[in-house]
Every structure is written in C-alpha cells, then in structure tokens.
Amino acid sequence: MIRETYVNALTLLALVAIPAWALYADEPFTITLMTRAAIFAIAAIGLNIALGIGGLVSLGHAVFFGIGGYAMGILAHHAQTYTPLAEWPFLIDGTKSMPIIWLVAICLSALAALVIGALSLRTTGVYFIMITLAFGQMFFFFAISWAEYGGEDGLSIYVRNGFPGLNTLAPIQFYGLCLALLFVVLIFAWKLSKSPFGLALNAARQAPMRVETVGLDPMRLKLIAFVISGVITGLAGALFADLNRFVSPTMFSWQLSGEIIIFIILGGVGRLFGPVIGALAFVALEHWLGGLSDYWHIYLGLLLLVVVLFGRGGLIGMLSGREAVHD
C-alpha cells in the first residue's frame, strides 16, 4: 500500500511532467489530451462535492457542464458575428474574454443548480437520480431545438477566447490555465472537506436525523453543496467548450453525466484526488483503447467492474487503502 499523500503527489507530478515532456518532444496532441483530462477532473471534483461528501447521486450534472459550454458558445458567437446578445432593456454584447465567460457560466450554473436542487432534493435515492436525469434531458432537448444557436449542430467558435496576458491558442498556455484552475478547485475542495460546512455535509449524508437533532438543516446543507458542485462543473463546461472551440447539445447529454460519475467511481468516491485520477485514467483509456477498437467502452466497462468489485474506494482505494482519519 502506498500512502494516499504519495499517490496524490504522483498525480500532481504527472499533471506537470507529462505536458512538459510533450512540449519538449513536440507532441501537442498529448497536451490536448491532458487539457481534456484536467477539464474533466474539474467537472468531476465539482460532482464529487455533491456525490462524495453529500451523497447526492446526480445523473444530471451535464446540465451544468452544458450551461458552461453554451455560456461560452453564445457569448463568443455574438462576439464573432458582431451581433448584440440583447438590445433590450440595455445593450449586451458578446465577448471573447474568458474571465467574463467564466463569470457568466458560474452565475448561470449556480442559478440552475439552485432551482434543480431545490426541486430534486425533495426526493432521495433512486428518485433523486431519476429527477436529475429528467432535468438533464430537458436541457438536452431544449438545446437541440434551439435553432438560433445551432440546434442539433451546435456552435463553432473559430478562435479560442482570450485570457489577459496569455496566448490561449498555444496548447501549453491553455493547458497551464486549465491546470491553474484545477489547482484552485482542488484546494477549495480540500478546504471545504475539512471545514465546518464539510463536517456538517458529511454528517448529513450519513445521519440526516442526527444533523437535524443538533439543530442544523440537512436539506439546506445539501442544497448549498449542490450549488457549489454545479458551479464548479459549469466552469469546467466553459473550459471544455473553449478546448474544442465547439459546443453542441451532447454537452447536455446523459452519457456525459454518466461519464462524470464514472470519473469519480473510477478514481475513488469522496477522495480528494479521486476525480483527478479517474479523469486521467478515463482519457488515457479513451485514447489507447479508442485506437484499438470502436467498441472501447466494453473494456472501460470491464475495468469499471473490476474497480467496483475489487477495489472499494476506486483506483485510490486500490493503491492506498481506506481513507486515513485526519486529526
């Protein structure tokens, strides 16, 4: 067994060393793959706050991923066509600035998570899964029928959006930006898990009656967790759209919601680095197995089965055992 700290340190090292090597060896595609993994990791860290700590199995997190994506797509689309987003009540122009796009993605995701959470949290267990799935499908079909923004075909953005002081079109610079955000999100998730809120949320998952009896509201704790979770996944969506310079309804699809859950299960539910390791493993498999066969999901399924059956606690659990008690 390797201590979890070492596994985490190794993961961080990989996040820095692999792209550095790729830059040196002039392998830009590897950098793109790593960017994809980093963005998926951010999305999954978001879900892990709701799922891992709060016990909320949301099969609708693609909603926030998609909202982030469309926030980017719509704003950039108006900017590149020089058309205003709205003229009334006041003039709103599109933008190609990442910070503004992120802010919009965050606000819209928060709003959506608040509404979806408030309605979904009236249910628990399998009903919660189903209702979040239903919201996901609603957004998916809405995006498909939204002809103004490409409908089924989605929106192409010709030039990647800008970030002050960076050339985002250089793969390594865009990767650096995503990695920096990944670190910020990781640190936030780490602090949150040890904070008073984390303690209360953790207890609300395990013993809601107890939380109620000490005078706290488990529902409200879970709702706030769901909003934080949605915001982080939404931010990842905006980055993902920028990585591909393309956004389409598949960002809202339930398959994507499922994939975000897979990252977490593969890496380790509720573990800080679980989503990161899961996303890295997923992207690596997608790349290698995808090259071998179109039906690579079969192998992914087998791996998932092995991890779930034999490695309780995901890949991290297999490598470093149960989570240590922190004091």
Q: Between residues 132 and 193, which has the closer beta carbon with respect to other proteins?
A: 193
- Residue 5 interacts with other proteins (CB under 8 A): yes or no: no
The stretch among 106-114, 153-161, 214-222, 277-285 that binds other proteins (CB under 8 A) is 214-222
200 contacts other proteins (rule: CB under 8 A): yes
Please, which residue, 106 or 143, has the CB nearer to other proteins? 106
75-104 residues near other proteins, rule: CB under 8 A: none
Contact pick of 172, 203, 289, 304 for other proteins (by CB under 8 A) = 203
Q: 155 phi and psi, to 5 degrees?
A: -120, 135
Q: Does 318 bind other proteins (CB under 8 A)?
A: no
Q: How far is the CB of 56 from other proteins (least distance, A)?
A: 16
**Of these, 115, 118, 207, 298, which contacts other proteins (CB under 8 A)?**
207
**Closer residue to other proteins in complex, CB, 150/198:** 198
Q: Is 312 in the site for other proteins (CB under 8 A)?
A: no
3-class secondary structure for the chain? Answer: CCCHHHHHHHHHHHHHHHHHHHHHCCCHHHHHHHHHHHHHHHHHHHHHHHHHHCCCCCCCCHHHHHHHHHHHHHHHHHHHHCCEEECCCCCEECCCEHHHHHHHHHHHHHHHHHHHHHHHCCCCHHHHHHHHHHHHHHHHHHHHHCHHHCHHHCEECCCCCEECCECCCCHHHHHHHHHHHHHHHHHHHHHHHHCHHHHHHHHHHHCHHHHHHCCCCHHHHHHHHHHHHHHHHHHHHHHHHHHHCEECHHHHCHHHHHHHHHHHHHHCCCCCCHHHHHHHHHHHHHHHHHHHCCCCHHHHHHHHHHHHHHCCCHHHHHHHCCCCCCC
199 binds other proteins (CB under 8 A): yes
Q: How far is the CB of 133 from other proteins (least distance, A)?
A: 27
Q: CB of 242: closest distance to other proteins in angstroms? A: 27
Judged by CB under 8 A, the residue of 1, 196, 292, 294 near other proteins is: 196
Q: Which of 173, 217, 245, 289 binds other proteins (CB under 8 A)?
A: 217
Considering the complex, what minimum distance in angstroms separates the CB of residue 48 from other proteins?
A: 15
For binding to other proteins (CB under 8 A), which residues are involved? 188, 191-192, 194-200, 202-203, 206-207, 209-217, 221, 224, 228, 325-327
